[in-house]
Chains A and B, each alone.
Chain A
Amino acid sequence: MRGILWTAILGAALALAGCRTGSPNASPTLSEAPASVSGFPVTVTDASRRKVQIPRLPERIVSLAPAHTETLYALGLGEKVVAADTYSDYPETVKAKATLNCWPRPPTEQIVALKPDLVVLFTQGDDFLREMDAVGIPTVKLFATSYAETLQDIRTLGRITGTTATAEEMVRTMETRLAAVEKRVAGAPPRTVMLELDAVDPARPFVAGGKGVYGDLLERAGGKNLFADLPQPAVQVSAEQVLDRNPEVILLGDTKAPVQPQQPEAVRSRPGWAQIRAVRNGEVYRVYSERITRPGLRLVEGLEEIARLLHPDRFPEPAAVAGSNE
């Protein structure tokens, strides 16, 4: 029966949807003046607008988001990470750690059993946060929706792990590289670009909307996001609209999708897509989805890659970091 099927599946689906959108996307703000490396306890206000106190320097960290895992490793905290979620796959060494399947809910008991003194997460909902607060494990939610907020989150991660100096250095590098990109593309006419995130059903692809990290990257890289008018980070649109808005460039963020990966050559054979400017002019490119969908350290690589694809004339020299189209 349909009703039962729905109870079975949609309940779970809605739970996930709640996780994704349930909490305000406020950028975390530091509630105190920067403390010295050993200056614990540290108190921060996180993306769930909770004040979280980290009483002493964390030694056992659980990361429930690939972006935060990457940042923690870059901060030199790989040794301290005791477990990470299923999607944390970078750097390679993280795969040796305990893996936590966080869907439909994070495994609270497993997490508590790991005796962490810090849990960082990205999307999980308020019910999980309440549980963690109840057991007294400092749990910080960091949910960046732009390049600037990503930098803030790296700063926060540095502060709550006693690696402020390294974090500041990372942020400075990311700011410098952002400025360099912005200088290169300055004055270039912005190119209309669609970033595709999933096109298993090419009649209604998921694309980057106006609010969110990827939309922000497109604009900063000298692009004009084709669906900037939509108030979601990622949004499912009609193919009619893609044809009608007719982007100059299509970026495929789904060439490494675990289910039905897409290829630039195959876009032409989608019904009607052969007429799109990007397809006719051969401007359909792959992008590394991990670099653009994870608001962490590698975001700047994604930014540089997109800028290079949108404005090749502004980047005459070969890329320092290998792009995905070579």
Chain B
Amino acid sequence: MMLPSSFWKKSHSNFKLPGRAVRLVALLLLLGSSGYVLYLDITIRDAFEGRKFALPARVYGRALEVYPGLKLAREQFVGEFKSIGYHENPQPDEPATYKNTLNGMEFTTRDFVFGDGVQPAQRLRIEFADGKVSLLQVRGSNDVDMPLLRMEPPLIGGIYPGHNEDRELVRIGQVPKQLIDALIATEDRKFYTHWGIDPRGIARALYKTVTGQRIEGGSTLTQQLVKNFFLTSERTLTRKANEVLMALLLEMHYSKDEILETYLNEIFLGQDANRAIHGFGLASYFYFDHPLGRLEPQEIATLVGMVKGPTVYDPRKHPELALKRRNVVLQVMVSQNVITQAQFLAARREPLGVVQRAPAGTSPYPAFLQFVHRQLERDYREEDLRSEGLRIFTTLDPIVQHQAEEALASRLAAIEKARKFAANTLEGAVVVSSTQTGEIQAMVGGRDARYAGYNRAIDAQRPIGSLVKPIVYLTALEDPHRYTLITPLDDTPLVWSQPGTTDWKPQNYDHQFHGQVQLRTALAHSYNVSTARLGIELGVEHILGKLPLYGIERRPPPFASSLLGAFGLSPVEVAQLYQTFADGGFRTPLRGIRAIVTAEGKPLQRYPLNVEPVAAPAPVYLLTTALQGVVREGTAQSLSNWLPAEMNVAGKTGTTDDLRDSWFAGYTGDRVAVVWVGSDDYKTTGLTGASGAMTVWGEMMKNIQPEPLEPAMPENIEMVNVDPVSGLRYDAGCKAGVLLPFIKGSAPAESSHCGASSADRSGTKPEAKPGTEKKNWFQRLFD
């Protein structure tokens, strides 16, 4: 390492100093300043080396897979284009451009590095008919049909280094010569010849300062870089002196190209909410939405002009000032022969051409990003997340997310209005996942979905009330010798004493007791008393002990009241619970991340689909039938205001004491979704599960257009026509009967004449046919 002090000494060696004392003082000063310079040297080199590679992790949403037959409307596809920054162009042959045609669009994709390799840009055509993709082709001299297109995934956020700095790292070779020339012509014409400072500039600045005029620049690019490393608004002579020294030191250690490259990546060029835009690479995307290599002369001039004052000359906030500044730079460019006179004239005529885009801040989906970040923190060091430029591919589906956000905000506002609540008294959270893969498609942490604060979807643990009941009923249905969908349950007054608690006297929501009710009816109407009796009969510990099986780690208190949901879970935990019911007894851990790739595009980690069989398919099938009954004829009947009966939705309402929490959890053929509505301060809202959360759920699902629920029927299930009241078997053709699934061997044996239903027989317990030998359910699965 070259000693910085030697340099210092050299520049002072010509002074003649009279007298010993003076020489001693000078020596001491020299030593002292050498030490100081050494300190500055270390500081600036640390900054230079450290900053060179701090790249944020980029988080992407799911890549839309497009294929003929996909349910996708043209407007949704335009929305997708917007989210990945495509723009309209009458000649859509450049990457990220599109044009509308009669039935669809022509467009060109970008190169994109996925976890499984590069997907090159392609010129394509798409057409739509009846809300579906009807044609997908590669455009060429001969158009060729394409089976599948994976769009580039939308960038949904980043995990940023330091003070939320974001940048797109560029090598000096990737930067257009025109930009470098324009920058040097405008900011520092002697860059390639000076050694870090411009003495005339400094002299001028010094003169102005001393004569009481304002303290001003005269900075070389090197000095500006130093200034950028230690961003402060302080303008003092000391700081200026440090800056000069550090600039000199930088020039001693690094080549001009290294300094210029770092400058190009480091310079602050704007603010996007709480995200700082650093460097020309990112600024090029941020303002013009294309890479550096494709910048036009006037766009280069705009960016170079911003160096002088990124806030003052922000082309979005102050377009007139930015335009004026741009034209000044263009003038410089032509006078320094960076562009020709013709280019100059053409460029001056162009508008600013900045893409209008709402500032996204750190992420438009803060709740989901937080969920992803927590998952990442388990596997990675925070500093790596913030500096290694990892690319994180997630499961978020912006189309579903948008519907979830809209439904929550609009329904809560509507409820407040209808019930004359003060505005913004209600809060809520939504989680939507895919049934078969457990991928989280949407997560809303509160009605202001952009607010990056309290995330109710993962952090609010609210009593789940009746949402817990399916566990009780599933446990019962797992024993087909004792329980079927039509087994009568006892819904008469109950007093339960348990050491350690006061006597427990559960009540039904309607404050009535219903005598003998069929199991499916008790669940459909969410009767508390019969459920409590059933749960106690099966064993409180036994039922609660099953929670870990369904992916719930939290252990509720071992009291009978827990059977009615007197314990808190977060919406995402409830989604995990219902995922197993929706997926026929297979538990798939909910996932937010699919894969992580290094900055260079090398696969680092995959989060593969993982499936665990935790409940036998047949009882789960029965449970789903019962939960479909909740929607068809039970507490969630009014869901039909949103979704047609053919959807066959299975779901459960949840309402807690004094109407503090309103829940709905349910599933369609392809999605599991959970909604919670309540107030953050645990005040009563007057809402039941059906009047609050369920309306959000319905509104959201209506717009998502889910697949109808048709669970695969396990082989040990048979459909039997029974009298809906007595539960006795009818002939298959009897129209008065109801067709219900039974685990083979458990259907009622006793039959009745068609239509002989009578209420007085409803109490008789239909005989279960015994005889099936007891086997582990997993063994039965493979029978």
Chains A and B bind each other: no
Residues on A close to B: CB < 8 A? Answer: none
